[in-house]
Amino acid sequence: MAIYGTSAGFGCFRRQASHARSKKRDNGEVYIARGFAQQPLLMTAITRIATSLPHQVISVNPTLGNDWNGEPAVYFQIIIADNSVPRSHLLAFTKEISQSIVHQLRPLEEWGLLPYFNFLTQSDAARMGHQPSWA
Q: Using one digit for the tens of pLDDT, what is the confidence trace for 15-39?
A: 344 444 556 666 678 789 999 999 9
pTM: 0.74
Rounded to whole angstroms, how far apart are CA atoms 135 and 133? 6
Backbone φ and ψ of 19, nearest 5°: -100, 145
pLDDT in tens, 62-74: 999 999 999 999 9
Domains of the chain are 1-31 (no CATH), 34-128 (3.30.70.1350)
DSSP reduced 3-state for 41: helix
Rounded to whole angstroms, how far apart are CA atoms 118 and 74? 11
Q: Name the strand (E) or helix (H) holding 120.
A: strand 114-121
pLDDT classification of 130: cutoffs 50, 70, 90: low
Least confident segment among 23-32, 83-92, 108-117: 23-32
